[in-house]
Structures are given as structure tokens and as C-alpha cells.
Structure 1
């Protein structure tokens, strides 16, 4: 009897528990961070009814998402689908409950923290998602929390409704959709003229870039929009929203074929306050009508979902190269969030000579520092020095065309590129990282990385770099540590702590630094000396050799200083850390050379300015065969000046006695 009562009690408790199982709406209402969405859902009769009677997946934005758009009227039914889908079963395209059943798009992106999942432009907060509940009819319902509001394409009030348009319907009827003041009439006309309507109504799911009306100025730009250019505005078979885009990844466009290859890439520009999204077309292989190079366009209104993908409105057409380098810079005059706005601002502040210099050049390559580069404290400290800034600006200017591909393919041949500053050159290094080939450029002692390459102009190229050239921000030691061309000298100086002094701030260093090639040259000439010098057990020799290359003083010596000092005397005597360095300085074709011990040594890079000194990169070390010998067991380590014959005898004798 007692057992039957106990069972009855348990059944009652279970039934009470089941009767109080939370519904999905109650779950939303109980979460203080989802209260705004819950309130809108409860007041939407159709959406609430759908939850009462059938299965569903709900994508619920957080309150913070709503606060970013205080005036937006969210469409609740665009956040609801009629099938219950947990994260692992989300398909790439899902039909929503909104009128016309427009789709939402699911994309997955790898990140350092694992896989990220996006629905349109909103990221799914995985730790708060995959909540599975049932309504009173036992229908499964799944809740996913997202960090942004899903925004469908809607029409203006009073317009004839067009439910779920494809990209062509959007382009044809753009004036009736809620896209602000943007108009796309000129691009639509070119699509019709080129008979490419089918591209925008194609089945499947694609990404479409549509330039707005303002981007068709000045003429004759509209006439340059031909069939291939239009094809370059479509990424087939990929639906890419800006938040989920894999940045700096080139996607093949419809204009990627045998004789013309055009890619499109998303990237962002952060001005410290907000981030702007840009797309760039890269005509990797051009033809007679389509110039090779990159064209940048700002996404002025992105993430417009359509039946066959997503549309991004951009501020100008892609692929079209019809402005000079100077005109390209001037385009940032009114764009404070543009990627080169601060560079243009500095140019205008210093004076018009720099722009005049660009205009006077038939062919131009400009290495333009990014906005972030101008924010570094060491750069801000010299902005008021107009004379210095003029020289710095001209250090970024080359009177010839150098594309990234030309730099990469000729990396072994292009030794120095003269700049618009007399006797100042740029030096390049290509770093291979798998398929990526990063290009670094050095000028005035500063090493910068090209972060946006090959922006094409009618008279040349613009490359955006991450540092201002000519404004040092590293010590002599830091320069050695960050320049791959100086790795061997860095390694030699590390073993016996020689390098530690090079970070000092109380003295000034003039350092003649042999390049990696210089040491390789020594290996070819005197292999035994090279081998001994780089053997760890004989590292004390390295210190002695490096001391011959280092001057510690209360000033630095540029190559121009040394040349002027040598005018009055045939041989210039410099006091190094080790001893006296006797040299002669000569100059030919704006390049310096040093004669030491009757050997002519070229100065590969002169006047690499550092915060505590200066480096001159030389193509052969100051070293002779007699400088490095292996002493007998127990002998002093300071045997440097023995003749080569005696050295050989000692080596043979040492080997004999060891046997």
C-alpha cells in the first residue's frame, strides 16, 4: 500500500514538473540580456502563434545588439525558421517565416579560438546557443543567441511589395528599397547595355558588388564599365557577409578566366574609433582594356540579403583604373576614415611641393604609410618640423613603376631603388610564408611591411605600408633583431653577449654591419676562416672581429660625414672598440665604397638611422685569414696575428698530439 502511494506521489511530482517546463518564450523572458527580443516576440501575433503550434529555430539578438540601432524596427519573423536546427545541423541556406520567405545564410569561419558560426552578418554566441525546448504540443524548438540584428531587404512605405528579390530585381528596382539615399542607376544601365542581366539573376548563391551613382564621376568612367568589368563585380558560389568574411583572402570573380584573372578581397581599416570595410579588386593578369593592379572601393552599405546571395553597395566601380597617383591621394581629401587620409593631411600640411613632384613624374611608385603609422609617438614628435617632413615624404616616392610582382620576381636583382631624396634608396626583402610572400621595404633605417599592394593608377602604383620611412623607432640591437638580412651578424654577436651594449642609450654607435651575403662571400674566399668563426667553441674570435666594426662615441658618422672627413687625408683613421680602422671612402653613382687593407668593400646600405646610432651595411667583413686561428690546447685565446704558415703548422701539430 505504501509503495502504491509512493509511486502515485512520484507520478504527480513528475506531471507537475512537466507542466512547469519552460517554453521558449519563457526562456527568453527569463534571460535579462534577451528581454528586448522577448518583448517584440510576445507582441508579434504571427510569430507568437508559430511558437505555440510548431517546430522552430529562433535566432535571438542580445539587448546590446538592439541598443546599437535604437531607431531600427526589427523584423521578428526574419529571425524564425520553421525547422529545429542545432548548430551542427545548420544548413548554408535556411528559409525564414518572413513574408516571401527570404533566406538567411549560415557561414562558418576558422579563427584562433576555433570555429565561428555566422547567420548573415551576426555571429552566433555558441556558449549561449543550442538550447532545445518543446512547446505544449511536443514540437522541438531551438534557441541560438546572436550578437547582431538580422536585417532583411524591405521596400519603402507606399511602394509595391517585392518579396524576396534576386540581385537583378534589386538592381532594377533599387529606388523602392530601403537603402537610404544610395542610387545605382548608372551601373544598372551598364549591365543592361552589356547584356549581363543573367549574371545577377543566376541560380545559386553569390556575392554581388554594386557601385553607387557617385562612383561614376568623372566621365568617361561609365564607358569603361564593359562586360568583363561587370563580371569582376561578382564572386560566384560564395555568400560573403562582412563580419564573416575571411579578410585578405582573394576570391575568384566571374572575370577569372584564361586571359584575364580578377580576384576580390575584403579588408578593414580601423581609425581607432570605428572600422570601415573595403573590397579591392586585383587584376592579376590584365589585357589591353583592363590594367593589371588593385582598385579599392569602400563598402558604403553592405550585407543586403537577396534571394540568390548578398549585395554590397560600394563607393566606386572595381577594376577601373582611370586616375593618376595624385588624383588617387586627393580622393581622400574629404574621407577622414579613408585608409590614406592622414597621409594626405600631412602632405597638405607640409606644402604642395610633394604633390607637384608626383605630378611631374611620368611614372610613379608611392609607398604610402597607413593612418596607424602616423599615430606612432616618434612620428608625431617631428610633424612640426616641415623641412624634415619634406625629406621624409620624398623618401616614400620613386620615379618608376614597381608592382609587387616585379619586386618579388626581381628580389635577387633589384639591389637599390633610388628615391626622390638624393643618395637615399629603398631596399626590399621578400619573406616566404607558405603561399604568402610578404614584402618589406626599408628606407632611412626603418623597415616597413607592405600591407596593401598594387593600388593601380594610370601612371604607376601605390603600396600602403605600416610604418613611416625615415623615422627610426628601433635601437641598433632591435634593428639587427628585426632585419633578416643581418641575421648572421646578429647571431655572432649573441654568443658572447657582444650585442647587449647595442641597446644602450648613453652613447652613440656607428656600426659597419656585414650582411648575410657578406659572410657568405667570406665563406667562398676563406672557408676555413668562416668555419672557425661560426663554430660555437671559438666564439671569442667573433667578439674581436665585431669590435673592429663598431665605433662608440658621442656622435654618429654618416657615410657623407666620413667622406668629408677623408677629403683632407688619403687614409681615414677611426677608433673602433678593438683598434684603429684605417679606411678610404669613395663615392660613385650615388653609392659609397670603403677600401680597407687594399680591398674595396661596397656599402650596400648606408645611413640606416636608429634611435641610438647608425648602421652601414657592408658586403664584406673587415677580416683577414690571420685574424682567426685555433690555438693549441692550453694556449691563450688571444692569438690573432700569427702568419698563415705558422697557423697551419700549429694546426697540424695539434692534430698529431691529439692522436
Structure 2
């Protein structure tokens, strides 16, 4: 097979592996990595014989080729080198399944024949690394093993698990029944904190039985990193209860894996996240994110992932979390610039708050001239930082809907939210504040005095011109296509910004607003002969020389860019535009404010347009034609004038 040449060469180097591959009578199942796995993971070519034999199962795994749903999500099979391999099935849609062998995804690669059967042997291709070599023992023996010789040929060890070993020695029932359970009692996923993880815990007395159980998934829930992240990482698995020799699922504390990608390098970090939505015992609401240091170590009773933070337990304030996070160094520099004005909210005595914390990348996206102004204007900087703080509330993602609106510390501007779902099962939450929309990258990070949501942009700080916003906003593509043919676009995308005459307030119609306009009027406006009329209509929606936020709107009459008067009035909780001459009304969509470096845009649900707009600029050509006709008649009838020359001269002047 052309896509298994690297696997063939690897097996050819070892006697036992080669013998199994050549023995036609051996009843085995082989999970063979395709050549791409070796290309993108060069260290895979250096697998020793025992690691190579971890890809070979000593029985026939016929369930994969049957194409039907299994009774159990995960099958457990023994490998040639006395380890275990876990085969997981996911149902993408009815009758369509995906399969994983440990962390390796089974694929068809070049052909549809992704399960090759030869007599009593099965060969399945995998297109992601299968994971580390299995450890020949349980999770408990992995933690307690003090024989360093056994880890000499492996890519992992247990030298940083001495603290966990001491804690498990003080709770022998959990150590033996859960961490040391045999395969007959069930399989689990174990998250093992290192010594540095325990060093982060301020009050060590809070680490008890329940905290240890928060690091173990329920029975027969074994998932490696790749299958867990397969459909967006939304496999929430309950942790485990253990009391009176009864093992059951604990749905109050759920476990999930997430990945955060570094935009500059393209590499991503894997995190184990414990989610608590209701306070119970000494667990607080929110999430604890722990970076996975060593993933995918198969053991005899499940799989082990070594992490750098103790899950479940929260002992740091918001201020301590931000200071310790290397991704918020720029944010702390801005906070320290204005002193204790904002920082008091993050201390233990500041009360409960929800803080939307921008990453370093968020500040790097701000244009240089805007950033200079932000550092120089402390009043504006204070307003911007207060826009990210929600007082007296622990706002977690389970409370966020598309209708959620909350007040911030400054009591002027509000935050709006969008619960996006793309692709299916991959839910992304967005927050809109000060005209800036940003995604929440790490949500529900729990602190002793509130919740932190890490975001990828700074709320209230523009970074694009109004024209760039139009080009990138999905809801405004109809307006963008029309403005693309108008000279007005150059005013919306100036080369120099932050000057008063280049500030605009643009009430831009959405795609749905243009659908309300009659098709005949819309088509004539875009037929190529009425661009000046269309520009006149858009100028009716633009206020020049003023950049008005949503909170700056007042009930008054404004003179728009085309010198017409438009009234802004309040109707209930909403503002609306009223154009008296055309008797048209357009409501300002709440949460539709977008900030640009040269003004603000507000989405509206209707267009201030009517039929006579087609003659707004077209009528100017009629007087010129009439004057030309009268002049020609005058020159023809007046005697003694060289009328051909004068007519030609007059035509040049008119042109």
C-alpha cells in the first residue's frame, strides 16, 4: 500500500514485529499509522519494538467493520506487549460513525477501504498518533512506582507525582478502589496533578477526598485527547462519587478537555477543565483550567493525563490569577497605570465581580495611534477597563443567551452577548461592549471573588475603520456591495483618523432592512445609472463631524450629511430614526453598535428611502441640457457670428 510504507519500514527493523506482520495464521488486528503521521511527527520514526507492538492487538476487532452502534462506547482490547488499547466509537449522524484507537483516528485516507481484512487478520489505518506506550499497571501503581528503571525507555515518568502519592497514602480506600481498581471494576480517565500544581494551592487542608475524586471521570469513560477534541471538545463527562463502597457519577462537577491555539505559532495547548455550575461542599462556581503536560498514557484501568493545576479547588483572587497568567502581562501594565481605581475590584475585599480579561494578543491588535492615546488619556483608559467589569455577579456561560444584557461598573454602557454554535456542538460565546464584538476564549475561570472570562479583543477600543467593518460584517454585506460603487466609501475609509471632520455616526441598514425595500426601487438604485441618487440616500443615514455611541443618542433633530433633517426619538427601551419628509421610520437595533477608528455604526432595521430619491441627482442634468439648447438656438439665429467655432468652444466649456 503506498500510504503505509513508513509503517512497513518500521516493522522491518524489529524481529518480533516483522514476524507478526508476516504470520498469516496469527489472529491479530493492526492499527497502522499512515505516512502522514510520520511526516508531521518525525519522532514517531524512532519507536522502539515495544512501542511498535502497542499498535497490534492480539484478537480480532470485528466490531469496527460491522458499521453498527455498539452497546458500549469504548472497547478494551489487549496488545501484544501486554498493554491495553481502547477503541472508541462516535456517532456523527445516524448510521455514520468515527472510530479511535487510543488517540489515533481511523481514516480512509486515499481509498474508501479503511479496514483491510485478510483471512483472520484485520488492518486499520490511523491518521493521528496513537499515544504513548502503555504502562504495565494501574494508575495507582503508576503513581507509586519508585523503580526508575521501568521509565528509562519511555517518554514519560512519575518523578513529579510524589505529592499526589503522599496524599493518596492518607486515603487508602480511594487509592485502592478508584486509582488502583482492576479492569473488572471499570475504566476511568485520570488527571494527575504534579508537585508544582499542589504548590499553587494556598490552603493545603482543602485537598481532601472530594478533590481527589474531581480528577477521575465516571466508570467506563475512557477518552484520549484526540477523541475528546473530535467534535469541538464538548464531551462533558461527570466526575465520580465514592461512598459506602458505591461508585456513581457526580454530575455536579464535570470534566472536559479544551484546546487554546497560539495564533502566531499555530501550536495549541491542551487543557483539562473542571466545571462547577452550582456551589456544593467547598467547590465554587466556575471552571479550573489545568494545562495537560503529558497526555495519553494508557494504564490497565484507563488512561492517565499529567496536569499542572489541581482541579476543582479555587484559592486565588482575580488579582492573583491575572498576575500569575503569562497571557495577561499587558493587561496588568494597563491596570497598574491607573493605580488602585480599578484594581480594588479584583481584590478579596472588592466583592463578587465578573471580569472580561483581554489577552496580550488583544492589545497587540490595537492600532499604534489608538494605543498611544489610550496610554496618554487616563480617564478614557479607566472607562475602558470599567467596561470589562460586571459588579456583584458571577456570570457563567450557562446563564448566557442571545437576550442577555448586563450593566457594567460605569453604569453607562451595557454588555450584550451572542451564543454562537459553529460547527454543531462547538459553542462559542461572544460579548459586545462599547461597539466591539469579541469571542470568549477561556470561559468561567473561577476565583474566590468572582469569575474571569478571557477575551481576544479589548472592549470599547476600535481597531478598524468604518469601511473595514462593513467589509467584514456578515449582516451588512448588502450595504457594503452598494457602497463599493460610491465615492462615499473613501470618506468612510480615511488615510488619517481621529480628526473631528472625519468622525461619523453611520446608521447602516442591515441585509434584512434592504429586503423591506420594494424590488423595483432597489434594482433601479443599483442599475448603474443612479449611483449619485444612491449616495444621496446613504448620506441621509450619516451624521458627519460627530461620533455618537449608543449612550450618546438623545431625542433631538439632527442634520445629516445630505443636509436633510432626521429625528432621533425614543420608543420604550429603543431608539428610532424618523425622516419627516419621507415619513419613514427605522429602529436602532439594540446591541448593534460597532465602534470604528473614525466613528460609530448603528444597525437599523429599515431604510430611509422612497421613490422620488431616484430624481435626487438626476434632475440636475435637465437644466444643463436646457441651457445648452437655448444657447445653440441663440448662436444660430444671431447674424454675423462664426457659429461652428463658438458652438465647439461652448461644448468644451460645458464638458
TM-score tier, shorter chain, comes to 0.5 to 0.7
2:227 counterpart (244, 248, 255):
244
Q: 2:208 aligns with which of 219, 225, 244?
A: 225
Query: Which residue of 342, 350, 354 corresponds with 2:327?
Result: 342
Equivalent residue runs for 1:366-515 within 5 Å: 366-370=355-359, 373-374=362-363, 376=365, 378=367, 382=371, 386-387=375-376, 390-391=381-382, 392-405=384-397, 408=400, 412=403, 414=405, 417-419=407-409, 423-431=412-420, 438-476=428-466, 479=469, 501=488, 504-506=492-494, 508=502, 510-513=504-507
The answer for the alignment partner of 1:196 in structure 2 is 174
Instruction: Identify the residue that residue 301 of structure 2 maps to in structure 1.
Output: 308
- Are the counterparts in 1 of residues 238 and 251 from structure 2 also a CA contact under 8 Å? no
Shift of 1:225: 3.4
- The aligned runs of 1:268-287 (5 Å cut-off) are 268-271=259-262, 272-273=264-265, 274-287=267-280
Residue correspondence of structure 1 range 22-61 to structure 2 within 5 A: 33-34=6-7, 37-42=10-15, 46-51=16-21, 53=23, 54-55=25-26, 56-61=28-33
Give the C-alpha shift of residue 295 in structure 1.
Answer: 1.0
| C-alpha deviation, 1:366, in angstroms | 1.7
Residue pair 2:142, 2:158 contacting (<8 A) in 1 also = no
Q: Specify the alignment match of 2:346 in structure 1.
A: 358
User: Residue 92 of structure 1: CA displacement?
Assistant: 2.9
Q: Which moved more, 1:125-134 or 1:51-60?
A: 125-134
Q: Deviations over 1:522-543 (max 9, x none)?
A: xxxxxxxx99964444557998
For the 8 Å contact 2:11–2:18, the answer to whether it is kept is no
Show the 5 A alignment for 1:643-658.
none
In 2, the alpha carbon distance for the partners of 1:58 and 1:419 equals: 60
Q: Does residue 59 of structure 2 align to residue 80 of structure 1?
A: no
> Secondary structure of the residue that 2:282 maps to in structure 1?
coil
Whether contact under 8 Å (2:237, 2:256) holds in the other structure is no
How much does 1:34 deviate? 3.6
**Aligned twin of 2:256:** 265
Kindly state the Cα deviation for residue 447 of structure 1 after the two structures are TM-superposed.
Answer: 0.7
CA distance in 1, matches of 2:385, 2:303: 41
Q: Which residue of 2 aligns with 1:161?
A: none
| Counterpart for residue 543 of structure 2 | 551
Deviation, 1:321, is 1.9
The separation in 2 between residues aligned to 1:296 and 1:261, in whole angstroms, is 17
2:284 aligned residue: 291
Equivalent positions of 1:537-548 (< 5 A) are 537=520, 547-548=539-540
Is residue 579 of structure 1 aligned with residue 571 of structure 2?
Answer: no
Distance (whole Å) between structure 1 residues aligned to residue 601 and residue 478 of structure 2: 18
Q: Take 1:77 and 1:583, find their aligned partners in 2: how far apart are those partners? A: 77
Asked if the contact 1:490/1:499 (under 8 Å) is kept, the reply is no
Count of residues in Structure 1 that have an aligned counterpart in Structure 2: 548
* CA distance 1:110–1:373, shift in 2 (3 Å): farther
Report the counterpart of residue 609 of structure 1 in structure 2.
Answer: 595
CA contact (8 A) 1:266 1:278 kept: yes
Q: Distance in 1 between matches of 2:17 and 2:234?
A: 39
The CA distance in 2 between the partners of 1:260 and 1:243, in whole Å, is: 23
Q: Residues 595 and 325 of structure 1: is their aligned pair in 2 closer, same or farther, counting only changes over 3 Å?
A: farther
TM-score of the pair, normalised by structure 2: 0.67
Residues 178-187 or 188-197, more deviating: 188-197
User: Quick one: distance in 2 between partners of 1:85 and 1:250?
Assistant: 25
Q: Does the 8 Å contact 1:444/1:469 carry over to 2? A: yes
* 1:493–1:542 CA contact under 8 A, matched in 2: no
Q: Is the 8 A contact 1:259 1:286 kept in 2?
A: no
CA distance in 2, matches of 1:594, 1:41: 79
Partner residue in 2 for 1:13: none
**3-state secondary structure, aligned to 2:354:** strand
Judge conservation of contact 2:436–2:460 (CA < 8 Å) in 1.
yes
User: Of 106, 131, 137, which aligns to 2:87?
Assistant: 106
RMSD of aligned Cα (Å): 5.2
Q: Is the partner of 1:577 in helix, strand or coil? A: coil
With over 3 angstroms needed to count, the CA separation of the structure-2 counterparts of 1:376 and 1:92, relative to structure 1, is farther
Query: How much has 1:557 moved relative to structure 2?
Result: 3.0
2:311 aligns with 318
Distance in structure 2 (CA, Å) of the matches to 1:405 and 1:594: 34
CA distance in 2, matches of 1:80, 1:562: 69
Work out the CA distance in 2 between the residues paired with 1:426 and 1:399: 12
Q: What TM-score, normalized by structure 1, do the two folds share?
A: 0.66
CA distance, structure 2, for counterparts of residue 139 and residue 573 of structure 1 = 83
Q: CA deviation at 1:583?
A: 7.0
Post-superposition Cα deviations, 1:590-640, rounded to whole Å, max 9, x if no partner, equal x9999999x9x99967984214x32264999898xxx96x89xxx9977xx
d(CA) in 2 for partners of 1:130, 1:455: 41
Q: Gapped runs of 5+ residues in structure 2?
A: 68-73, 152-156, 242-247, 496-501, 526-532, 617-655
Q: CA deviation at 1:406?
A: 7.3
Cα distance in structure 2, aligned partners of 1:396 and 1:408: 16
CA contact (8 A) 1:253 1:263 kept: yes
- Does the 8 Å CA contact 2:479/2:508 hold for their aligned counterparts? no
Q: 1:127 aligns with which of 102, 105, 109?
A: 109
After superposition, where does 1:144-159 map in structure 2 within 5 Å?
144=125, 147-148=128-129, 150-154=131-135
How many angstroms does 1:382 deviate by? 3.4
Q: Which residue of structure 2 lines up, in the alignment, with residue 168 of structure 1? A: 140
* Residue pair 1:417, 1:427 contacting (<8 A) in 2 also: no
Deviations 1:188-231 (A, max 9, x none): 62585383342331623321222222222333145243336614
